[in-house]
Amino acid sequence: MSVVIAIGGKDRAWLRAAGRARALAWVSLVWMTAEGVVGLVAGLQANSISVVTWAAGSAVEGLGSAIVIWRFTGSRTMSDAAELRAQRWVAGSFFLLAPYLLYESIHRLAAGEAAEAHTLGIVLTASSVVGMPLLGWAKLRLGRRLGSAATAGEGTQNLLCAGQAAAALVALATAGSLPWLDPVAAFAIAAIAAREGVALWKGDGSCCSTPLGFSEPDAGCADDCCA
């Protein structure tokens, strides 16, 4: 007969999940640092607003990762007050990039500038299209297991990163024939980021907050929004 020891209302399985959330946040932080530096270079070379803003968004996502690391370190691991604070901070991080994305999207549409295909940009965006959903879905699962909107919000940022990378990749591949796709994609990501930030700030934790097209298979919604 197994014995489950609860610490501060949290069992060992919960504490192991918290450790995994912190470990994944560290993985994301390292990834985002490298992605931001290389992505900025690739975006400037390709003259792509989607790649540049996607790379700049890595700093915001890195901030989200740092917040989750803070949340699950030391005595804060079992603190409901720390969770609420982390949730609000992650929500705020969604708003940091949206105005810049909006401005640059309108400017690029008005100027009619097109992105230029570049190998580095294509390779970098393709890697995020593959890797970011894996991190995002894992964090969404952990967020539900832990009851942590901060963790789920960081996972959502990873999924948005994947969506933005996919849009940037398409923009690079079709730069000659679809010059409007690059800024329109950046505008769409800005709108989604603002929506996600509002939902997280209000505490609307549900499957509805997962970006359209990135709902986790068999997630098990906590409400009826996905029905």
pLDDT at 71: 94
pLDDT in tens, 177-210: 666 776 777 788 788 888 888 888 887 654 444 4
67 pLDDT band, cuts 50/70/90, is very high
Comparing 5 with 124, the larger pLDDT belongs to 124
Q: Is pLDDT above 90 for 215?
A: no
- 110-142 pLDDT per residue, tens: 766 666 666 777 787 788 899 999 999 999 999
**Domain extent listing, the chain:** 12-208
Contact 18, 25 (CB under 8 A): no
Distance, CA of 66 to CA of 71 (rounded, Å): 9
Domain covering 12-208 in this structure, CATH number: 1.20.1510
Query: Would the pLDDT of 145 be above 70?
Result: yes
* pLDDT for res 24: 95
Where is average pLDDT lowest: 5-19, 23-37, 66-80?
A: 5-19
Asked whether residue 151 carries a pLDDT value surpassing 70, the answer given is: yes
Predicted confidence (pLDDT) at residue 219 exceeds the cutoff of 70: no
